Amino acid sequence: MLTYSFEDIKPEPLYLHLYKCIKNDILNGVLLPKTKLPSKRSFAKNLGVSNITVENAYAQLQAEGYIYSVPKKGFYVTEIPKAVHKIKDQQTEKNIKKHIQNSYIDVSNQYEVDLVSNRTHTDNFPFSIWAKLMREIISEKSSELMEKSPWGGIMELRSAISTHLKQFRNIEVEPEQIITGAGTEYLYTLIIQLLGYNKIYAVEDPGYKKVAQIYKSNNVACEYIPIDNSGIIIEELEKHHADIAHISPSHHYPTGIVTPISRRYEILGWASREKGRYIIEDDYDSEFRLAGRPIPTLQSIDVMECVIYINTFTKSLAPTIRISYMVLPKKLLERFYDKLSFYSCTISNFEQYTLARFIKDGYFEKHINRMRNYYKNVHNKLMKAIKNSKLADISTISEEGSGLHFLLKIQTELSDKEYIEICRRNKINVSCLSQYYNEDNDNNIDRQHILIVNYSGIRLEDVSRTVELLCRPIL
Amino acid sequence: MLTYSFEDIKPEPLYLHLYKCIKNDILNGVLLPKTKLPSKRSFAKNLGVSNITVENAYAQLQAEGYIYSVPKKGFYVTEIPKAVHKIKDQQTEKNIKKHIQNSYIDVSNQYEVDLVSNRTHTDNFPFSIWAKLMREIISEKSSELMEKSPWGGIMELRSAISTHLKQFRNIEVEPEQIITGAGTEYLYTLIIQLLGYNKIYAVEDPGYKKVAQIYKSNNVACEYIPIDNSGIIIEELEKHHADIAHISPSHHYPTGIVTPISRRYEILGWASREKGRYIIEDDYDSEFRLAGRPIPTLQSIDVMECVIYINTFTKSLAPTIRISYMVLPKKLLERFYDKLSFYSCTISNFEQYTLARFIKDGYFEKHINRMRNYYKNVHNKLMKAIKNSKLADISTISEEGSGLHFLLKIQTELSDKEYIEICRRNKINVSCLSQYYNEDNDNNIDRQHILIVNYSGIRLEDVSRTVELLCRPIL
């Protein structure tokens, strides 16, 4: 009969030790397939352990499929297919190490000044207030915090957003029309599932590259539509047979173009001409328009229910707050409910409660106002510094009064690539308008030599240094 | 010349009042397209306001596209297309109200006992410890909290998960192979983008319906593969030309079947026979296996790098904690990096830091152990109560020793639908095995009259009442 030693074994249950011994023998071929194992009783006696020990070991082996039982006969060893041999791939191992690095490199830390990533500076986030609210939520909402969030988000947050939208964007919607999600990227993928994979999605060219990337990654047709000085060109939408237009009429990136009211109506007209046409109005960053009153959104003048409005708190608050939302027209809300409400909300309700209170108690408004002032100061100081620099005579600033960036056209013999490279060597990260077009077209002189200056990440005290670094290539 | 009154106006800036007056006149057709507006200076004089007031009003009107400027000539009214008329849809309005309700109905609150939603009871979540850790993170990590999370998640959390996986599932992986996301549902959609839209995804039949729902919603081919007593059937995978098998070998829902080691090797063999075949090993709930040691995962015995392991903290901790993760084989990690690392991480790093510490400080292990004991007690009490009830003589319990549910086969004349309906009228929510098959097949007697008893949501003190309610239909 099989015999195993129970002396000097690890401090583990006896049955576990026995299980391991038998399993090893099966895997090593000592116990061949179809071998009958000893009966529990006699095995226990032989090993000097209790029946229950053998029983537990057999139960575990059986559960894992190493042995099988034949009623009234006993236990037998299973035939286990041989595992294939491990392939060591040196190259993959090497790449893994590369990814370890890539995963943790924060681009903004590689440079002294970063004018590319348009993120807000974290210094300015009212962290102590946020922390205070988090503490309040922890102590007041212990039971709510443990509940699952409804699919569209908790009502407190959606109500707060609805009130905010009314006050700041003149958008009048029911809280129920607001669907929250962990980032706009996630919401785009929900929109695709909502509107359909057989649709043609149109994005602006030039434009924010990630939007097209997401459509392509989600396997839907994505067309690049040229823009003119008023925004997306309607004729081009028609020409490309677009069904869905994904646009930023209040703040086009990177040109800064604001679509005037006449074009807005034309876009709405385009959408209403054919059934199934929709507009995704990406209002990203609209809080930081620095001059005049905000321009009416497409959502607020849309009477045909063909606009999906989308915005995020990631930019207006802090990159770590991954809360975005979309406003569905009522007719789409029903479709969303039928098709997609099986998805769980992707935001923890703890963050939802905190943000809801942050908005409701007026902190969000205060924060926006403070940030607008701050950015205005950075902007003005930056303009002045450019005027007093070597750039003054060889550059033109163009800004459309929206958002936290402007274009700087430079008279230079350097190609865009060369300019960027010299900048990077000087520890300043900058991008050019030409990079935001779908295809590089070096022959198109209008697109060349135009730097995009995202100043939301520059500290006030770093403005002079920024301009100094920007001048380096032309010295 | 145009004249507007500035008397008795709202407490708002003068320029804003002027802007509104002109805008109204444009929208109402008082000011016709191409009309020239007065020069700033003379208009200001006429209205008795400062030049800057008119200038600001014109700037705003121009920014919004109501007027345009002709250099050296002045400002003109834009031609604005007429807006289409609002369509009032009574039906939609009514449905909206329905959705308001639907959005907030928590199914578990409609019933006295809920045996369907397999969620953990929030009473058992160590909230005070979680809150303590949150407070610690708020005060210690203020700067890290404001940084954006790397695309795969913060390293602290991925390391903690990696250590946990080694200790509890014998899975040895680098933290970099772990990709975190806000819920498994979100991770499934990433996997589709990673593996491809042209692949055939196979799910278990019967099985957890949401999985198939997500594949369909993401527009990929989804095949239902029958299972036998050992799990998914290899021949059926071949027959359906499946490329990707999405399975739960350690805990099949709802049958509770545990796939034995021999079948596991066969599944791995299936995957390795053709290039591009992958297994998604959904290990959901595996922490709560109540008997014996956990069974080796496919991931831990896979040497061909074709298993994507996936698990969540939503079930093991609390529904509000939307943190899930997947473990990518190294060869897929590179593809993920190339194709999908542009996506931002969907979890706020605040929750990531809190969970990382919760695991690292041993609280997660303690919680799991406590919950296993708790569930064991509920389970035993439930078994006893059934034995002492009217169900004893007319039912058979089948459980495969895994997870937090079992099957209860009842001898009854009632159809499954009738049984469920009577239960619901008695305020107990229960589901039947037949509902988890792709197609209802009322002729298949093996599938009928089998209740699924998810007991994770029952309080210990509610066990007797639960059994009492379950007996109602057969009284």
Neighbours of A37 (CB within 10 A): 21
What backbone phi and psi angles, to 5 degrees, belong to B324? -125, 170
* Confidence band of B84 (pLDDT split at 50, 70, 90): very low
Which of the residue ranges A434-443, B144-153, B243-252 has the most confident prediction, judged by mean pLDDT?
Answer: B243-252
Tell me the per-residue pLDDT of B281-323, one tens digit each, with 9 for 90 and over: 999 877 777 665 667 899 988 888 999 999 999 888 887 788 9
H-helix or E-strand containing A385? helix A363-387
| A56 vs B75: CA distance, rounded Å | 90
Q: Before A254, cis peptide (omega within 30)?
A: yes
What backbone phi and psi angles, to 5 degrees, belong to A213? -60, -40
| B424 vs A335: CA distance, rounded Å | 28
Burial of B183 (0-12, 13-18, 19+ CB in 10 A): buried
Residue range B118-132: average pLDDT?
80
Is a pLDDT exceeding 80 seen at residue B99? no
Among A93, A143, A350, pick the best mutation site for testing chain B contact (most B Cβ within 10 A).
A350
Question: In angstroms, what CA-CA distances link A95 with A100, A195, A305, B195?
Answer: 9, 38, 49, 19
The conformation of residue A181, written as its DSSP 8-state character, comes to: E
Going residue by residue through chain A (475 aa), what tens digit of pLDDT does each one get? Answer: 778 888 777 777 888 889 888 988 887 778 888 888 998 888 888 888 888 889 888 988 887 788 888 888 899 998 876 543 344 455 656 666 665 555 555 555 678 888 887 667 777 888 889 989 988 998 888 778 877 888 899 999 999 999 999 888 889 999 999 999 999 999 999 999 999 999 999 999 999 999 999 999 999 999 999 999 999 999 999 999 999 999 999 888 898 888 988 899 899 999 989 999 999 999 987 777 766 566 789 999 888 899 999 999 988 888 778 899 999 998 899 899 999 999 999 998 889 999 999 999 999 999 988 888 899 899 999 999 999 999 999 999 987 666 788 999 999 989 999 999 999 999 999 999 999 999 765 567 778 899 999 888 888 999 999 999 998 888 7
Neighbours of B51 (CB within 10 A): 12
First to last CA, chain A: 90
The conformation of residue A404, written as its DSSP 8-state character, comes to: T
Alpha carbon dihedral B186, B191, B193, B199, in 10-degree steps, equals -130
Tell me the angle at which helices B463-471 and B363-387 cross, rounded to the nearest 10 degrees.
40
Contact B261, B254 (CB under 8 A): no
| A338 vs A331: CA distance, rounded Å | 12
| B36 vs B461: CA distance, rounded Å | 81
| A311 vs B131: CA distance, rounded Å | 30
| A128 vs A134: CA distance, rounded Å | 10
Question: In angstroms, what CA-CA distances link B107 with A153, A338, B79, B98, B428?
Answer: 16, 17, 54, 15, 11
Is a pLDDT exceeding 70 seen at residue B103? no
pLDDT for position B369 = 87
Percent of residues in chain B assigned helix, strand, coil, to nearest 5: 50, 15, 35
The answer to whether the Cβ–Cβ distance between A303 and B63 falls below 8 Å is no
Neighbours of A303 (CB within 10 A): 13
* Confidence band of B189 (pLDDT split at 50, 70, 90): very high
Q: Residue A381 is which amino acid?
A: K
| DSSP-derived secondary structure for A333-372 | HHHHHHHHTTSPPSS-HHHHHHHHHHHHTTHHHHHHHHHH
Q: Before B254, cis peptide (omega within 30)?
A: yes
**By CA distance, what is B135's nearest residue in A?**
A135
The answer to whether the Cβ–Cβ distance between B265 and A81 falls below 8 Å is yes
Contact A229, B63 (CB under 8 A): no
H-helix or E-strand containing B281? strand B278-282
Nearest Cβ partner for B186 among A155, A265, A346: A346
The answer to whether the Cβ–Cβ distance between A345 and B322 falls below 8 Å is yes
Contact B129, B136 (CB under 8 A): no
Nearest Cβ partner for B262 among A59, A80, A189: A80
| A37 vs A49: CA distance, rounded Å | 16
- Distance of residue B413 Cα from the nearest chain A Cα, in angstroms: 31
Residues 6+ apart with CB under 8 A from B441: B434, B447
Q: Residue A150 is which amino acid?
A: P
Neighbours of A287 (CB within 10 A): 24
SS (H, E, C) B109-151: HHCCEECCCCCCCHHHCCHHHHHHHHHHHHHHCHHHHHCCCCC
Residues 6+ apart with CB under 8 A from B281: B247, B248, B249, B297, B298, B299, B307, B308, B309, B310
Q: Which of B427, B421, B416, B422 is nearest to B452 (CA)?
A: B416
Tell me the per-residue pLDDT of B52-64, one tens digit each, with 9 for 90 and over: 889 888 988 887 7
- Both tokens assigned to B286: 């595996």
Q: Before B206, cis peptide (omega within 30)?
A: yes
Residues 6+ apart with CB under 8 A from B126: B363, B366, B367
The answer to whether the Cβ–Cβ distance between A213 and B346 falls below 8 Å is no
Q: What is the largest CA-CA distance in chain B?
A: 99
| CB-CB neighbors (< 8 A) of A230 in chain B | 65
Nearest Cβ partner for A301 among B83, B106, B331: B83
pLDDT for position B83 = 47
Q: Which of B383, B401, B402 is nearest to B391 (CA)?
A: B383
pLDDT for position A59 = 85
| B246 vs A15: CA distance, rounded Å | 33
| CB-CB neighbors (< 8 A) of B176 in chain A | 96, 99-100, 103
Nearest Cβ partner for B260 among A65, A143, A145: A65
| A180 vs A183: CA distance, rounded Å | 9
| B310 vs A464: CA distance, rounded Å | 50
Long-range contacts of A380-389 (CB under 8 A, 24+ apart): A381/A460, A381/A463, A382/A453, A382/A455, A382/A458, A382/A463, A382/A466, A382/A467, A385/A463, A385/A464, A385/A466, A385/A467, A386/A467, A389/A467, A389/A468, A389/A470, A389/A471
Nearest Cβ partner for A103 among B125, B150, B193: B150
Using alpha carbons only, give the angle B383, B386, B391 rounded to the nearest 5 degrees: 145
pLDDT for position B332 = 94
Contact A75, A37 (CB under 8 A): yes
**By CA distance, what is A341's nearest residue in B?**
B103
pLDDT for position A442 = 58
Residue range B145-174: average pLDDT?
90
**By CA distance, what is A83's nearest residue in B?**
B265
Neighbours of B143 (CB within 10 A): 10
Burial of A269 (0-12, 13-18, 19+ CB in 10 A): middle
Side-chain half-sphere CA neighbours of A44 within 13 A: 15
The answer to whether the Cβ–Cβ distance between B78 and A261 falls below 8 Å is yes
| CB-CB neighbors (< 8 A) of B182 in chain A | 182, 186, 322, 346-347
| A197 vs A396: CA distance, rounded Å | 43
| CB-CB neighbors (< 8 A) of A259 in chain B | 65
pLDDT for position A87 = 41
The conformation of residue A150, written as its DSSP 8-state character, comes to: P
Nearest Cβ partner for B60 among A87, A293, A334: A293
| B40 vs B52: CA distance, rounded Å | 8
| pTM greater than the 0.90 cutoff | no
| A245 vs A199: CA distance, rounded Å | 11
Side-chain half-sphere CA neighbours of A216 within 13 A: 11
| B311 vs B293: CA distance, rounded Å | 18
Is a pLDDT exceeding 80 seen at residue B7? no
| CB-CB neighbors (< 8 A) of A296 in chain B | 64
| CB-CB neighbors (< 8 A) of A349 in chain B | 320
Q: Which of B15, B17, B6 is nearest to B53 (CA)?
A: B15
pLDDT for position B96 = 62
Q: Before A206, cis peptide (omega within 30)?
A: yes
Which residue would you say has higher pLDDT here, A149 or B186? B186
Tally of residues, chain B: 475
| A380 vs A373: CA distance, rounded Å | 11
First to last CA, chain B: 90
Q: Which of B17, B29, B40 is nearest to B66 (CA)?
A: B29
* Chain centroid, CA A86 distance in Å: 36
